[in-house]
Amino acid sequence: MSAIVFDGVRRVFTRDGKDFLTLDGIDLTIGDREFVAIVGPSGCGKTTCMRMVAGLEFPSTGTVKVGGAVVSAPGPERAVVFQQFALFPWKSVWENIDFGLKCKGLAAEERGQHIRRFIELMSLQGYESAFPHQLSGGMQQRVAIARAYALDPAVLLMDEPFGALDAQTRTVMQEELVRLARRNPRTVLFITHAVEEAVYLADRVVVMTRRPGRIREIIDVGAVRRSENWDRLERIEEVMDQASFVHMRTQIWRMLREQQQPDTH
């Protein structure tokens, strides 16, 4: 099991001798193979949540667990895809995907099988020998996602993975991720500022308050998706035309807009 559990998590940063409370009382369970997106105002601690699951940061109080074990360091069962593509510029597409597999100690034949599979899944055929600078932003992010999936992680952590892409490429990548998630389900924690993206991709959307970040609401998108059979729809625009999609998007936008109102005291 690869469930993620936040239990009473608070995070305090110290800067110039002053303490700043970033996260306050986060209690959240993400089920095995569930896709959860977190949205919220800038600075509310979305990325901090992801980094704590990755083992790159740690709670000041409370615990973060993956698969029942407290996270104390990065681990191979958790793969991260960042907004910036983070590819090795001196390595080819094949070599970038192969890097983590080599670190795991897999034999060359087995590595090749994994690489070919995910090159096909991410529609990278014909680009095996290309270097990152020869690829578009969308293609580079396909390589980054292929590299993460090829490691066969139980948990996939994605921090604004499409934020640096143009609108058209972003839409294509969202559709690709939905297709890949259906064929190769993982436990996914997805950080985004884009409400439509969150509703389209996730089983549940966690809406956070402005700093200190707290959970304002959790929207169960998956229940609506199943009841209205969104899965029959192939394109993102078809999903976005659904009245239920528009309702949830508007509901979340209103919650986020509330967070932008200035304090009156």
- pLDDT score of 264 more than 60: no
The pLDDT value recorded for residue 225 is: 87
Average pLDDT over residues 46-70: 94
- What is the spatial distance between Cα 71 and Cα 50, in angstroms, rounded to a whole number? 12
**Tokens 């294509």 sit on residue:** 172
Please tell me the total count of domains within the chain: 1
> What's the pLDDT tens digit per position in 125-137?
899 999 999 998 8
Average pLDDT score over residue span 209-220: 93
How confident is the model over 15-37, as a mean pLDDT? 92
Report yes or no on 233 lying in a domain.
no
Domain span at 127: 84-152
The model's confidence at residue 8, banded by pLDDT at 50, 70 and 90, is: very high
pLDDT digit string, tens, across residues 228-238: 888 787 788 88
Please report whether residue 103 resides in a domain: yes
Helix axes 108-121, 93-103, angle to 10 degrees: 130
Which amino acid is present at 197?
E
Residues 174-206: pLDDT tens digits? 888 888 888 878 899 999 989 999 999 999 999
Domain membership of residue 10 (yes or no) is no
How far apart (Å, rounded) are the C-alpha atoms in residues 180 and 164? 20
Please check whether residue 140 lies inside any domain of the structure. yes
Q: Would you say 239 and 258 are in contact if contact means Cβ atoms under 8 Å apart?
A: no
pTM: 0.87
The answer to whether residue 122 sits within a structural domain is: yes
Quick check: is 260 in a domain? no
Which pLDDT band holds residue 85 (cuts at 50, 70, 90)? Answer: low
pLDDT at site 229: 83
| Residue 164 confidence (pLDDT) above 80 | no
Whether residue 93 lies inside any domain: the answer is yes
Percent of the chain whose predicted confidence (pLDDT) is above 90: 48
Mean residue pLDDT of the chain comes to 88
Contact 114, 101 (CB under 8 A): yes
In a domain, residue 136? The reply is yes
Pairing of strands 69-70, 61-66: antiparallel
Run of H or E including 51: helix 46-54
Q: By the 8 A CB rule, do 198 and 252 touch?
A: yes
